[in-house]
Amino acid sequence: GTTSALNQVAYGWGLYNLKPGDRILLTLMEHHANIVPWQLVSRHTGAELVYVPHTGDYALDLDALSGLLDERVKVVGVTAMSNVLGTINPIRQIADAAHEVGALMVVDGAQAVPHMAVDVKALDADFLAFSGHKMLGPTGIGVLYGKAELLEAMEPAEGGGEMISDVQLASSTWAAVPHKFEAGTPPIAEAIGLGAAVEYLETIGMEAVRQHEVEITGYALEQLGAIEDLTIYGPSDLAIRGGAVSFTLADIHPHDLATILDQRGIAIRAGHHCARPLARSLNAPATARASFYVYNVPADIDALVDGLQEAREIFGVA
């Protein structure tokens, strides 16, 4: 999925193009999949990792980003939508700034692509990755978009059958893109499933998907915001936020909230959501997260709120 795709970029491009003195610019909003591969590559190349913070209202600090961008930065990695905060980042604006200093723009599109219309050319992304399982498809498959000239110049991160043009005893030559990045037997059933998911979402229309999410998220923010002692992490402006809504309730541990809700047939996630640097910056080691999609209706929000009120009673929150 997205993790494999971002590793392909880090190892296939970063390992061969970064050197001591170079910088890799990431943000504190990144999922571990857009942090750890670059950490590993930095160990081998000597490139330095630097991070863009967020503001108090959960937006990316663009002034800080501008101050960090200079000729030392060779790659900028940014999530299009935070999987914790729901923040939708201004990817085209960041890409333009990155390209001005000669840096590549790598976009984690795992949260954005399933929830809104995404045009990679309009964003001017050099690379963009997303997963099947976040868009009604199967697990274990994803997509890596890259500009043709970059993909052709990249080295494969994995070797094996089907990705070669020829194999000699001492060396090999690669098949054309995309085959040189697809070593071994492909996930055939998963590819068929992802194709079906794409067709289904195209039938609905991504503009309709986004509009539904804006409406259901707005209702969720309104109802959750009325619960005493509940803190929501993420922008209140629906124009710049998606349907991932993270929160805490008084001093009840998010894992306890998730267990109580699970017993009532309500599925949420609890923890750091594979974004520990962000969690630390929020001073919230764990949060509960409700994530909304095309199948959610207002009654689901009502059930969530009722479950949270029950949790207050169980833990004796006044």
Taking CB atoms within 8 Å and a gap of at least 24, the contacts of 93-97 are: 93/62, 94/60, 94/62, 94/65, 95/123, 95/124, 95/125, 95/126, 96/124, 97/65, 97/66, 97/69
Count of CB atoms situated within 10 Å of the CB of 136:
18
216 vs 226: CA distance, rounded Å: 16
Q: Return the structure tokens found at 192.
A: 């068929």
Catalytic residue, candidates 164, 274, 286, 305: 274
Asked if 309 contacts 227 with a C-beta cutoff of 8 angstroms, the reply is yes
94 is catalytic: no
214, exposed or middle or buried, with CB in 10 Å at 0-12, 13-18, 19+? middle
Q: For residue 79, what are the contacts with CB-CB under 8 A and spacing of at least 6?
A: 27, 29, 30, 31, 34, 89, 107, 108, 110, 111, 112
Cα 182 to its chain centre, rounded Å, is 22
3-state SS, one letter per residue, for 178-230: CHHHCCCCCCHHHHHHHHHHHHHHHHHCHHHHHHHHHHHHHHHHHHHHCCCCE
Asked if 254 contacts 265 with a C-beta cutoff of 8 angstroms, the reply is no
Among all residues, which ones are annotated catalytic?
274
